[in-house]
Amino acid sequence: MDSWRLRNFRETDFEAFHALVSDFDVVKMLASWPWPPDTEFTRTRMTTPEVKAGLVRVIEVDGTFSGTIGGVDGGLGYMLDRRFWGRGIATWAVREMLDDGFRNLGWDTAHAGCWQDNPASMAVLRKCGFSEVGRETGHCKARDCDLPAVEFALTQADWAKTRAQP
């Protein structure tokens, strides 16, 4: 974990970022990413106002681009390269982003959602203290269909309680 960090995007991240969003098993779990992958779409996502403001960051593990995480107005989203799945990296990154959001960005509540067929993301969110607050249907651009989604929330007060536990 000592070599894990969140950092701002660099122009040199394009190839690794585009490789990440060129993996259907990754983008099928996201709402707005196209399939097949589109280089211009990837480039535009590296230069959004949210990225420039540091609200969307790179997850770096041992010096390697491993994924991204964003926290915009309390809305949390992330994606992780499959080579890094199952190592606790997503849980760590979510906790880091929550810490920044609640301490520095003025969040009262964090929100996140995932497709119902994404048990790994549901587990990450629950480990980080999120509670299920609803179910709905959303459109997945990569799969080109509507899917059942699970919505989660975490208040600042509940986050503070989980942070106080060993």
Confidence (pLDDT) at 20: 98
Q: Which domain holds residue 30?
A: 4-164
Confidence (pLDDT) at 166: 54
Residue by residue, DSSP assigns 42-77 as: HHHHTSSHHHHTTSEEEEEETTEEEEEEEEETTEEE
Q: Supply the CATH number for residue 91's domain.
A: 3.40.630.30
Walk along the chain (166 residues) and give the pLDDT tens digit of each residue. Answer: 789 999 999 999 999 999 999 999 999 999 999 999 999 999 999 999 999 999 999 999 999 999 999 999 999 999 999 999 999 999 999 999 999 999 999 999 999 999 999 999 999 999 999 999 999 999 999 999 999 999 999 999 999 987 766 5
Domain count, the chain: 1
Is the separation of the CB atoms in 38 and 46 below 8 Å?
no
What does the DSSP 8-state code read for residue 82? Answer: G
Q: Could you tell me which residues come within 8 angstroms of residue 7 by beta carbon, excluding any fewer than 6 positions away? A: 57, 58, 60
Q: Of the candidates 121, 7, 20, 2, which has an alpha carbon nearest to the alpha carbon of residue 60?
A: 7
